[in-house]
C-alpha cells in the first residue's frame, strides 16, 4: 500500500456518513487503499464498501451506526432475511474488500426492541431491523480483529461470496434478542472462519443456501473451514441449515468450543439442497435445557431431514463424520430422517459425553422444527414465524416426546450409521422420563410401523 492510498479520518461530532462514503468511493476509483477511522466515536448511516478498500477501525475507534431502520434506505440488499432488506455496511459485486482493525462496531440493538416476551424470556424485536454487514457477490473478502456488539439482527452475512476470511473477530450480542446470528455464510464458496469468539441469542456460525429474488437458490455452499472458534448460542452454535435451497458440501468444523448453548452441532435439511461431506472434529460442548419455544434443548448433536414445503421436498444428508467430541449435555444426540430423501452414511466415533438431568425437563422431547406450521403461524395460536407454533393441544408443533423416554442417542430412519467408541455417561439411577436403553434405533417395518432395536 502506498502512502497516497491511506486516508485517516478523525472522529467528529454528528453524522459523518457523507465524508466516509466519499473517501471510500475516491479510494476505490484510484485503485484501492485503506480508510482508517482513528480513535473516537464515528456516527454514520449506511456505508457501501467498494472494490479495493479496507475499512480499518484503529484501536479506540468506535463505529456507531444510527439506530434507525430508515437510515439504511440507501444501503439495501437483494436477499431479505427476517423482513430485513438493508444493512449498516454493505457491498455488492466488489473485489478485495475488508473490515479490519482493533476498533469496535456498536450496533445499537436497544433501539430495535419493542417489548419483553415473558412467556419465553426473550425481547420482542422490531418488525424491521438492519443487519450489520451484508456482502453480496463479492470476491476476496476479509473481516479481521474487530469487535462487534449488540447487533439488531444477523451480524455478518456473506451472500454468494468467494474467498472469504473471518479471523479473530469478537461478536457479543444481547442473548435475549432473537435472530442475532453471529456469522452466516450463504451460498459461499471457499471460506475460512477461525479464532473467533461469538455470543448470541441465535445461531453462532451458520451455513445456508437461501432463495434469491428470482425464486431459485442463490447457489452452492462449499469448501468451508471453521476452526478454533468459541461459541455461545441460544439456538445452534455450529450449524448447517435450515435454508437449504442449494447444495452444501465439503465442510469442516474443528477444534472449537461450544458453551452455554441450546445445541452444539446441527444439520437441518428443509428445502431441496443436498448436504454432503461434512466433518465435526475435536469439539467440546456444553448444552443446556431451555424453555419451550426456544430452538432445541440441550442436544450435543442434532441432524434431521424434514419436508417443510410439500412441493419442494428436502434434500438428503450424506457422508457425515462426527468425531472426538467431549463435554456434557442435558438433552440427547439425535439423527432423524423424517422425509423420503433420508440420511445416509454417518460415522460417530470417539465421543465422550456426560448426559446430565436438567431443571426443566424439556430435553425429553426431540425437535423437528422448523416445520410447515412455522411458515405462517396464526395470530391467535401463539408463536413466531419460522420459529414455533402451538397446536390446539397447546404444545409446540415439532417438539416430539421420545418413545419410551429420553435415550442417550436416538436414531430414526437412517441408512448406514456406524458408532465407534461412543461413550455417553448417564446418571444412576436414571431420572424419571429417561429411557433405560442408551441407544435407540427406529427403523421402518414393512407395514409402515416403527420397529425398535437396541
Domain boundaries, the chain: 3-453
266 by DSSP, 3-state: which? strand
Query: What dotted CATH number matches 3-453?
Result: 2.160.20.10
- pLDDT tens profile 297-320: 999 999 999 999 888 999 999 999
For 152-164, give the DSSP string: SS-SEEEES-EEE
d(CA 12, CA 42): 7
Q: Give the pLDDT score at 160.
A: 98
d(CA 419, CA 329): 18
Q: Give the pLDDT score at 386.
A: 61
Number of H helices, E strands in the chain: 1, 40
Q: Give the pLDDT score at 215.
A: 85
pTM of the predicted structure, to 2 decimals:
0.95
CB contact at 8 A, 19 and 42: no
Which residues of the chain, if any, have pLDDT below 50? 1-3, 445-454
Q: Give the pLDDT score at 376.
A: 66
Q: Give the pLDDT score at 452.
A: 42
Q: Give the pLDDT score at 373.
A: 74
Q: Give the pLDDT score at 390.
A: 79
d(CA 292, CA 185): 28
Q: Give the pLDDT score at 446.
A: 42
Amino acid at each position: 500500500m502506498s502512502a497516497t492510498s491511506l486516508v485517516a479520518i478523525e472522529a467528529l461530532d454528528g453524522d459523518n456518513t457523507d465524508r466516509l462514503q466519499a473517501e471510500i468511493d475516491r479510494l476505490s476509483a484510484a485503485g484501492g487503499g485503506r480508510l482508517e477511522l482513528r480513535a473516537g466515536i464515528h456516527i454514520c448511516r449506511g456505508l457501501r464498501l467498494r472494490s479495493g478498500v479496507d475499512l480499518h477501525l484503529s484501536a479506540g475507534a468506535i463505529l456507531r451506526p444510527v439506530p434507525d431502520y430508515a437510515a439504511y434506505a440507501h444501503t439495501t440488499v437483494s436477499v431479505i432475511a427476517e423482513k430485513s432488506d438493508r444493512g449498516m455496511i454493505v457491498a455488492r459485486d466488489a473485489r478485495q474488500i475488508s473490515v479490519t482493525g482493533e476498533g469496535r462496531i456498536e450496533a445499537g440493538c436497544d433501539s430495535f426492541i419493542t417489548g419483553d416476551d415473558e412467556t419465553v424470556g426473550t425481547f420482542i424485536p422490531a418488525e424491521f431491523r438492519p443487519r450489520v454487514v451484508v456482502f453480496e457477490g463479492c470476491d476476496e473478502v476479509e473481516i479481521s480483529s474487530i469487535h462487534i456488539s449488540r447487533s439488531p439482527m444477523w451480524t455478518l452475512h456473506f451472500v454468494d461470496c468467494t474467498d472469504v476470511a473471518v479471523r479473530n473477530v469478537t461478536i457479543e450480542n444481547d442473548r435475549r434478542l432473537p435472530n442475532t446470528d453471529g456469522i452466516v455464510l450463504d451460498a459461499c464458496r471457499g471460506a475460512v472462519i477461525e479464532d473467533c469468539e461469538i455470543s448470541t441469542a441465535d445461531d453462532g456460525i451458520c451455513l445456508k443456501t437461501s432463495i434469491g429474488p428470482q425464486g431459485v437458490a442463490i447457489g452452492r455452499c462449499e469448501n468451508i473451514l471453521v476452526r478454533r472458534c468459541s461459541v455461545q448460542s441460544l439456538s445452534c452454535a455450529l450449524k448447517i441449515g435450515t435454508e437449504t435451497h442449494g447444495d452444501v458440501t465439503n465442510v469442516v468444523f474443528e477444534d472449537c468450543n461450544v458453551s452455554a448453548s441450546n445445541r452444539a452441532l446441527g444439520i437441518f435439511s428443509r428445502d431441496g439442497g443436498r448436504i454432503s461431506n461434512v466433518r465435526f472434529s475435536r469439539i467440546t460442548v456444553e448444552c443446556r435445557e431451555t424453555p419451550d419455544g426456544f430452538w432445541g434443548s440441550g442436544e450435543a448433536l442434532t441432524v434431521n431431514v424434514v419436508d417443510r414445503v410439500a412441493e419442494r421436498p428436502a434434500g438428503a444428508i450424506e457422508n457425515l463424520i462426527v468425531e472426538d467430541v467431549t463435554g456434557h449435555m442435558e438433552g440427547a444426540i439425535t439423527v432423524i430422517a423424517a422425509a423420503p430423501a433420508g440420511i445416509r452414511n454417518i460415522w460417530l466415533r470417539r465421543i465422550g459425553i456426560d448426559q446430565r438431568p436438567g431443571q426443566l425437563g424439556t430435553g425429553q422431547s426431540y425437535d423437528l422444527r422448523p416445520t410447515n406450521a412455522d411458515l405462517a403461524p396464526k395470530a391467535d395460536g401463539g408463536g413466531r414465524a419460522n420459529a414455533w407454533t402451538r397446536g390446539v393441544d397447546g404444545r409446540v408443533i415439532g417438539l416430539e416426546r421420545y418413545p419410551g423416554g429420553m435415550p442417550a442417542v436416538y436414531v430414526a430412519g437412517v441408512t448406514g450409521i456406524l458408532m465407534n467408541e461412543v461413550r455417553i455417561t448417564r446418571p444412576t439411577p436414571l431420572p424419571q422420563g429417561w429411557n433405560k436403553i442408551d441407544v435407540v434405533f427406529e427403523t421402518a417395518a414393512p407395514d409402515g410401523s416403527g420397529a425398535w432395536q437396541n
